[in-house]
Amino acid sequence: MKSTSRIAIFASGSGSNAQRIAEYFSGSSSVEISAVYCNKPEAYVMERARSLGIPSVLFDRDTFYNQTVILDDLKSRGVDWIVLAGFLWLVPVYILKAFPQRIVNIHPALLPGYGGRGMFGMKVHQAVIEAGEEQSGITIHYVNEQYDKGDILFQSKCKLSREDTAETLAAKIHELEYEHFPVVIGKLVSEGVNS
Protein backbone atom coordinates (compact mmCIF):
# COMPACT_ATOMS: atom_id res chain seq x y z
CA MET A 1 0.00 0.00 0.00
CA LYS A 2 1.21 3.47 -0.87
CA SER A 3 2.11 5.35 2.29
CA THR A 4 1.90 8.92 0.97
CA SER A 5 -0.93 10.42 -1.06
CA ARG A 6 0.20 13.25 -3.27
CA ILE A 7 -2.12 16.13 -4.05
CA ALA A 8 -1.81 18.71 -6.79
CA ILE A 9 -3.69 21.95 -6.27
CA PHE A 10 -4.93 23.88 -9.31
CA ALA A 11 -5.76 27.53 -8.69
CA SER A 12 -6.27 30.69 -10.74
CA GLY A 13 -6.60 33.41 -8.13
CA SER A 14 -5.74 34.49 -4.62
CA GLY A 15 -5.19 30.96 -3.39
CA SER A 16 -6.41 31.34 0.17
CA ASN A 17 -7.96 27.87 -0.02
CA ALA A 18 -4.74 26.47 -1.47
CA GLN A 19 -2.84 27.95 1.48
CA ARG A 20 -5.34 26.61 4.01
CA ILE A 21 -5.11 23.11 2.49
CA ALA A 22 -1.31 23.22 2.44
CA GLU A 23 -1.18 24.36 6.08
CA TYR A 24 -3.70 21.73 7.15
CA PHE A 25 -1.55 18.93 5.70
CA SER A 26 1.83 20.45 6.54
CA GLY A 27 2.39 18.15 9.52
CA SER A 28 0.91 15.09 7.83
CA SER A 29 3.02 12.03 7.18
CA SER A 30 0.44 10.55 4.79
CA VAL A 31 -0.57 13.52 2.61
CA GLU A 32 1.76 15.75 0.67
CA ILE A 33 1.01 18.77 -1.50
CA SER A 34 3.16 18.10 -4.55
CA ALA A 35 2.72 21.35 -6.43
CA VAL A 36 0.45 24.27 -7.20
CA TYR A 37 -0.59 24.51 -10.86
CA CYS A 38 -1.70 27.90 -12.06
CA ASN A 39 -2.82 29.43 -15.35
CA LYS A 40 -2.31 33.09 -14.37
CA PRO A 41 1.20 34.49 -13.89
CA GLU A 42 -0.11 37.39 -11.76
CA ALA A 43 -2.24 35.23 -9.46
CA TYR A 44 -1.41 35.68 -5.78
CA VAL A 45 -1.47 31.92 -5.32
CA MET A 46 1.97 31.87 -6.98
CA GLU A 47 3.33 34.07 -4.18
CA ARG A 48 1.63 31.91 -1.56
CA ALA A 49 3.20 28.76 -3.04
CA ARG A 50 6.63 30.40 -2.87
CA SER A 51 6.14 31.37 0.79
CA LEU A 52 4.91 27.88 1.63
CA GLY A 53 7.86 26.28 -0.14
CA ILE A 54 5.60 24.38 -2.55
CA PRO A 55 6.71 24.01 -6.18
CA SER A 56 4.54 25.87 -8.66
CA VAL A 57 3.87 25.17 -12.31
CA LEU A 58 2.58 27.92 -14.56
CA PHE A 59 0.89 27.05 -17.82
CA ASP A 60 -1.05 28.69 -20.62
CA ARG A 61 -4.13 27.59 -22.53
CA ASP A 62 -2.24 25.90 -25.34
CA THR A 63 -0.09 23.88 -22.95
CA PHE A 64 -3.16 22.78 -20.99
CA TYR A 65 -5.45 21.86 -23.85
CA ASN A 66 -3.15 20.86 -26.71
CA GLN A 67 -0.10 19.30 -25.08
CA THR A 68 0.63 16.69 -22.43
CA VAL A 69 3.21 18.69 -20.48
CA ILE A 70 0.93 19.11 -17.46
CA LEU A 71 -0.06 15.45 -17.36
CA ASP A 72 3.59 14.44 -17.70
CA ASP A 73 4.46 16.79 -14.85
CA LEU A 74 1.68 15.39 -12.63
CA LYS A 75 2.90 11.85 -13.33
CA SER A 76 6.53 12.73 -12.70
CA ARG A 77 5.56 14.04 -9.26
CA GLY A 78 3.52 10.88 -8.53
CA VAL A 79 0.33 12.88 -8.03
CA ASP A 80 -2.69 10.83 -6.87
CA TRP A 81 -5.35 13.52 -6.44
CA ILE A 82 -6.11 16.86 -8.07
CA VAL A 83 -7.85 19.54 -6.05
CA LEU A 84 -9.33 22.56 -7.82
CA ALA A 85 -9.29 25.50 -5.42
CA GLY A 86 -10.55 28.50 -7.32
CA PHE A 87 -9.46 27.12 -10.69
CA LEU A 88 -11.55 28.52 -13.53
CA TRP A 89 -10.82 26.44 -16.61
CA LEU A 90 -12.53 23.20 -17.63
CA VAL A 91 -10.26 20.23 -17.05
CA PRO A 92 -9.48 18.56 -20.39
CA VAL A 93 -10.64 15.01 -20.99
CA TYR A 94 -7.13 13.53 -21.17
CA ILE A 95 -6.50 14.65 -17.58
CA LEU A 96 -9.97 13.51 -16.42
CA LYS A 97 -9.23 10.07 -17.88
CA ALA A 98 -5.86 9.87 -16.15
CA PHE A 99 -7.46 10.68 -12.76
CA PRO A 100 -10.88 8.95 -12.68
CA GLN A 101 -12.85 10.06 -9.57
CA ARG A 102 -9.65 11.65 -8.33
CA ILE A 103 -10.34 15.31 -9.17
CA VAL A 104 -12.43 17.45 -6.84
CA ASN A 105 -13.59 21.05 -7.00
CA ILE A 106 -15.03 23.48 -4.53
CA HIS A 107 -17.86 25.75 -5.63
CA PRO A 108 -18.96 28.73 -3.53
CA ALA A 109 -22.72 28.03 -3.67
CA LEU A 110 -25.20 25.22 -3.19
CA LEU A 111 -25.10 23.36 -6.51
CA PRO A 112 -26.99 22.69 -8.69
CA GLY A 113 -27.93 26.34 -8.12
CA TYR A 114 -25.62 29.16 -9.16
CA GLY A 115 -23.16 27.01 -11.08
CA GLY A 116 -22.03 26.56 -14.65
CA ARG A 117 -19.91 28.49 -17.09
CA GLY A 118 -19.06 32.01 -15.97
CA MET A 119 -20.26 31.39 -12.42
CA PHE A 120 -17.23 31.88 -10.21
CA GLY A 121 -16.11 33.90 -7.22
CA MET A 122 -17.93 37.19 -6.62
CA LYS A 123 -20.27 36.62 -9.58
CA VAL A 124 -21.80 33.72 -7.71
CA HIS A 125 -22.29 35.77 -4.54
CA GLN A 126 -23.78 38.70 -6.46
CA ALA A 127 -26.29 36.38 -8.14
CA VAL A 128 -27.26 34.80 -4.82
CA ILE A 129 -27.77 38.23 -3.19
CA GLU A 130 -29.74 39.58 -6.17
CA ALA A 131 -32.04 36.55 -6.08
CA GLY A 132 -32.85 37.31 -2.43
CA GLU A 133 -31.84 33.85 -1.24
CA GLU A 134 -32.07 33.17 2.48
CA GLN A 135 -29.16 30.77 2.44
CA SER A 136 -26.08 29.86 0.46
CA GLY A 137 -23.16 27.56 1.07
CA ILE A 138 -20.39 25.49 -0.43
CA THR A 139 -20.33 22.39 -2.60
CA ILE A 140 -17.43 19.99 -2.96
CA HIS A 141 -17.87 17.71 -5.95
CA TYR A 142 -16.08 15.42 -8.34
CA VAL A 143 -15.03 17.06 -11.58
CA ASN A 144 -16.26 15.91 -14.95
CA GLU A 145 -16.27 17.40 -18.45
CA GLN A 146 -18.92 20.00 -17.60
CA TYR A 147 -18.71 23.00 -15.28
CA ASP A 148 -19.97 22.17 -11.77
CA LYS A 149 -21.86 19.04 -12.84
CA GLY A 150 -19.90 16.21 -11.21
CA ASP A 151 -21.29 14.12 -8.35
CA ILE A 152 -21.65 16.06 -5.13
CA LEU A 153 -19.54 14.87 -2.20
CA PHE A 154 -20.31 17.46 0.46
CA GLN A 155 -22.34 20.61 1.08
CA SER A 156 -22.49 23.03 3.98
CA LYS A 157 -24.88 25.96 4.35
CA CYS A 158 -24.87 29.43 5.82
CA LYS A 159 -27.77 31.78 6.47
CA LEU A 160 -28.08 35.15 4.78
CA SER A 161 -29.48 38.26 6.38
CA ARG A 162 -30.99 41.24 4.59
CA GLU A 163 -27.84 43.23 5.37
CA ASP A 164 -25.56 40.78 3.56
CA THR A 165 -23.71 41.98 0.46
CA ALA A 166 -21.72 39.96 -2.03
CA GLU A 167 -18.62 40.87 0.02
CA THR A 168 -19.98 39.74 3.39
CA LEU A 169 -21.35 36.58 1.78
CA ALA A 170 -17.94 35.89 0.23
CA ALA A 171 -16.39 36.11 3.70
CA LYS A 172 -18.96 33.67 5.13
CA ILE A 173 -18.34 31.27 2.26
CA HIS A 174 -14.58 31.43 2.68
CA GLU A 175 -14.96 30.56 6.37
CA LEU A 176 -17.00 27.48 5.41
CA GLU A 177 -14.43 26.55 2.77
CA TYR A 178 -11.50 26.85 5.18
CA GLU A 179 -13.32 24.77 7.78
CA HIS A 180 -14.49 21.94 5.55
CA PHE A 181 -12.44 21.65 2.36
CA PRO A 182 -9.22 20.28 3.91
CA VAL A 183 -11.17 17.87 6.12
CA VAL A 184 -13.20 16.51 3.18
CA ILE A 185 -10.00 16.13 1.14
CA GLY A 186 -8.34 14.28 4.02
CA LYS A 187 -11.26 11.84 4.29
CA LEU A 188 -11.41 11.22 0.53
CA VAL A 189 -7.71 10.60 0.28
CA SER A 190 -7.63 8.19 3.20
CA GLU A 191 -10.65 6.30 1.82
CA GLY A 192 -8.93 6.18 -1.58
CA VAL A 193 -5.77 4.77 -0.02
CA ASN A 194 -7.71 2.03 1.77
CA SER A 195 -9.94 1.04 -1.14
The answer to whether residue 107 forms part of the interface with ligand GAR (CB under 6 A) is: yes
Q: How far is CA 115 from CA 77, 132, 139, 141, 145, in A?
A: 32, 17, 10, 12, 14
Say if residue 100 is preceded by a cis peptide, omega within 30 of 0: no
Binders of ligand GAR in range 9-68 (CB under 6 A): 11, 13-17
The answer to whether residue 85 forms part of the interface with ligand GAR (CB under 6 A) is: yes
Select from 33, 70, 86, 172 the one that contacts ligand GAR (CB under 6 A).
86
The answer to whether residue 114 forms part of the interface with ligand GAR (CB under 6 A) is: no
Q: Give the number of other CB atoms < 10 A from CB of residue 167.
A: 11
Binding mask 130-169 for ligand GAR (x = CB under 6 A): ----------------------------------------
What is the distance between the alpha carbons of residues 143 and 96, in angstroms, rounded to a whole number? 8
Nearer to ligand GAR, 78 or 112 (CB): 112
Query: Is position 125 annotated as part of the catalytic site?
Result: no
Which stretch, 32-40, 75-83, 151-159, 171-179, contacts ligand GAR (CB under 6 A)? 171-179
What is the distance between the alpha carbons of residues 132 and 23, in angstroms, rounded to a whole number? 35
Nearer to ligand GAR, 66 or 160 (CB): 160
The answer to whether residue 121 forms part of the interface with ligand GAR (CB under 6 A) is: yes
Helix axis angle, 16-24 to 166-194, nearest 10°: 40
Minimum distance, C-beta of residue 32 to ligand GAR, in the bound complex (Å): 20
Residues 62, 92: contact at Cβ < 8 Å? no
Nearer to ligand GAR, 102 or 107 (CB): 107
- Per DSSP, helices labelled H in 33-132 are 44-52, 61-66, 69-76, 93-98, 121-130
Q: Computed from CA positions of residues 90, 91, 94, 96, in that sequence, does the dihedral angle turn out positive or negative?
A: negative
The answer to whether residue 80 forms part of the interface with ligand GAR (CB under 6 A) is: no
Torsion of CA 47, 52, 53, 58, to 10 degrees: -40
Residues marked active site are found at 107
User: Which spans of this chain sit near ligand GAR (rule: CB under 6 A)?
Assistant: 11, 13-17, 85-86, 106-108, 120-121, 124, 173-174, 177
